[in-house]
A and B are shown apart, each in its own frame.
Chain A
């Protein structure tokens, strides 16, 4: 059986900006500010709802950083779950078309 892919989408209720290698995200729901480090930023930038997480890790994290695919993928899953808990990222098993809100 094929493993289920994970698709991630940035929440519409945020404003974000990149500062150096980091990304600063502000939730408009509760005025919380989030700061992502360089690897977190690479994952965040790939969160377009159409690219599977495995591809984001392969094309962005593994190409740019000195890490194995397995380690990067395990960390990315943990990271994505945390962002989803904070409500700034949506996680889906299906691709999300632009403008579609989960």
Chain B
């Protein structure tokens, strides 16, 4: 049935590992507060 099919699809999607985010090199930017003001 449609409900069973939908349920199967949901279970399959839940079993998939979560997609990883694209990697970017860890970075730090910095600035002085008084300069910004």
User: Are the C-beta atoms of A32 and B33 separated by less than 8 Å?
Assistant: yes
Tally of chain A residues near chain B (CB < 8 A): 28
- Choose the segment among A4-12, A71-79, A93-101 that binds chain B (4+ C-beta atoms closer than 8 Å): A71-79
Among the listed B27, B31, B33, B34, which residue makes an inter-chain contact with A40, where contact means beta carbons less than 8 Å apart?
B27
A82 to chain B, nearest CB (A): 6
What number of residue pairs across chains A and B have CB atoms under 8 A from each other?
65
Cα of A72 to Cα of B32 in the assembled complex, Å = 29
A33 & B30 in contact (Cβ 8 Å cutoff): yes
Partner-A contacts on B (CB < 8 A): 20-34, 36
Given contacts A66-B20, A76-B26, A86-B28, could you give 15 more A-B pairs where the C-beta distance is less than 8 Å? A26-B33, A32-B31, A35-B30, A37-B24, A63-B20, A65-B20, A65-B21, A65-B22, A65-B23, A65-B24, A66-B22, A66-B23, A79-B27, A82-B28, A83-B28
